[in-house]
Amino acid sequence: MKNSVIDVTTSTPVSASTTSPALKLQAEGLCKFYDDFAALHPTELKVHAGELLTLLGPSGSGKTTLLQLICGLVQPSDGILTIDGRDHTGTPASQRDVGVVFQNYALFPHLTVHENVGFPLEMRRVARGDAERRIAEALAMVGLADFGKRFPSELSGGQQQRVALARCLVYHPSLILMDESLSALDRKLREAMQIEIRRIHRETGSTIIFVTHDQEEALALSDRICLMNSGRIEQIGSPQEIYERPVSRFAADFIGVSNIFEGRVESDRLVTTEGALPLPAATQAVKGFLVVRPEHIRFEEPEGATLVGRLIETIYAGPQSRLIVRLDSGFTITALRSSSLPPLQHGEPVGLSWNPEDARFLDR
């Protein structure tokens, strides 16, 4: 079996002020097989203390399996899992000092908010006085100081999510895992909760591993993103690194919107069915893909433009509109344009160009 190895020691430092943050978690060859099916191929991963790492990928990418291995709900087929310098590969979930915030909140409907948040402390036999103080602190942290006497059915979805988070924070776990925790909320509430999670992460210094399939959520929340595909780590880095410097076609296509051209390199051009396209300097490969983000494409007169097509759709999105242009080959290109500019007419020919250094070339 071939390991999915990613060297993360050279990635952009996390938000901690030290240049060499302590290692909170390390997976070495960690994998999970169900007969011949690999839910997670042998994987290497390091998570630093105090960072918010997002496991991002489509369904079946292995992100939930990795999370379950970390929290102990599933036992690995092979490999070693170390948390705070101790081998926890075979440690039961109840003894891992890991807090989990589930997608469905998992609140007890017959208990009040105060009782739900205090439940982990009761199970750990924390003294009543200390427990009351910690419950009050946790509820204040999530903005629910006055909601202790309410029941879950009396709360909105966002408030229930905050209770679940407070219940996790109250016993100060070494590591917090969040599994698609915001997916049940509407977009505006999700964005508000993303801000709250960032605030709580900053104020507590907690180490958080967040699982999502939503790329915008990952970009908004993360110190680093671990992009997964088919049970392997595809790329790991800061949101800016993942977006601006994808290492594979999958990464370029999954994160954000990309225009991807495939062809062969001849001199300083990529020869494609759409035309000969300018390449970034020092491109040496023979074949590959050219990735051009919509925000880097500019509209010009057809004469002298890199590509010429016809505008087939304009999608208004506030300050910027998304324009879809179809080339003669049938290939469609997505570009962004200020909504304040005079509109272009559908069906009219338009020229498209970009700075070659703004594009990303991927060796096939």
- How many domains, in total, are found in the chain? 2
Going by the DSSP 8-state scheme, the letter that residue 51 receives in this structure is: -
Whether residues 223 and 272 share a domain: the answer is no
Residues in the chain, pLDDT under 50: 1-18
Tokens standing for residue 272:
């494609």
Q: What is the pLDDT of residue 5?
A: 39
Helices 157-169, 128-141: axis angle to 10 degrees equals 140
CA distance 23 to 107: 32
Residues 204 and 56 in one domain: yes
Are residues 199 and 52 part of one domain?
yes
Question: Does residue 237 sit in the same domain as residue 353?
Answer: no
Residue finishing a domain among 190, 222, 252:
252
Residue 56, number of CB atoms within 10 A of its CB: 30
Residues 319 and 345 in one domain: yes
Q: Would residue 205 count as lying in a domain? A: yes
The CA distances from residue 60 to 28, 79, 160, 229, 357, in Å, are 21, 20, 28, 8, 34
- The reply to whether 274 and 175 lie within a common domain is no
CB 53 within 8 A of CB 209: yes
Tell me how far apart the alpha carbons of residues 162 and 202 are, in angstroms, rounded to a whole number. Answer: 16
Cβ proximity of 61 and 230 under 8 Å = yes
Task: State the sign of the Cα–Cα–Cα–Cα dihedral 183, 189, 191, 197.
Answer: negative
Please check whether residue 3 lies inside any domain of the structure: no
Domain C-terminal end among 194, 228, 252: 252
Does 11 map to a domain? no
74: left (phi > 0), else alpha (psi -120 to 50), else beta? Answer: beta
Question: H-type helices in 142-272, by residue range?
Answer: 157-169, 187-204, 215-221, 239-244, 249-254
Q: What angle do CA 43, 214, 219 make, to 5 degrees?
A: 80
Quick one: 342 and 315 in the same domain?
A: yes
Task: State the pLDDT at residue 15.
Answer: 42
Query: Residue 330 has what DSSP assignment?
Result: S
361 strand-pairing partners: 290
DSSP class of residue 4 equals: B
Q: Is residue 339 a contact partner of residue 319, using CB atoms and an 8 Å limit? A: yes
| pLDDT at res. 197 | 87
List pLDDT tens digits, range 197-215: 898 899 888 999 999 999 9
Res 8: pLDDT: 38
305, 328 Cβ separation under 8 angstroms: no
For residue 265, the enclosing domain spans: 261-363
Distance CA 82, CA 242 (A): 26
The reply to whether 223 and 342 lie within a common domain is: no
End-to-end CA distance of the chain: 23
Q: Give me the pLDDT at residue 13, please.
A: 39
- Pick the last residue of a domain from 252, 271, 288: 252
The closest of 305, 240, 247 to 276, measured between CA atoms, is: 305
CATH at residue 46: 3.40.50.300
- Same domain for 266 and 220, yes or no, is no
Q: How far apart are CA 182 and CA 201, in angstroms?
A: 16
Query: What's the rounded Cα separation, in Å, for the pair 339 and 192?
Result: 26
State which amino acid sits at residue 105. Answer: Y
Find out whether 257 and 216 touch, Cβ atoms under 8 Å: no
**Cβ 194 vs Cβ 206: under 8 Å:** no
Report pTM.
0.86
Same domain, 306 and 232: no
- Residue 20 is predicted with a pLDDT of 62
- Of the candidates 339, 294, 279, 286, the residue with the CA atom closest to the CA atom of residue 315: 339
Are both 162 and 67 inside the same structural domain?
A: yes
Whether residues 186 and 136 fall in one domain: yes
Percent of the chain with pLDDT over 70: 95
CATH number, position 317 = 2.40.50.140
Q: How many CA atoms lie within 13 A of 205 on its CB side?
A: 7
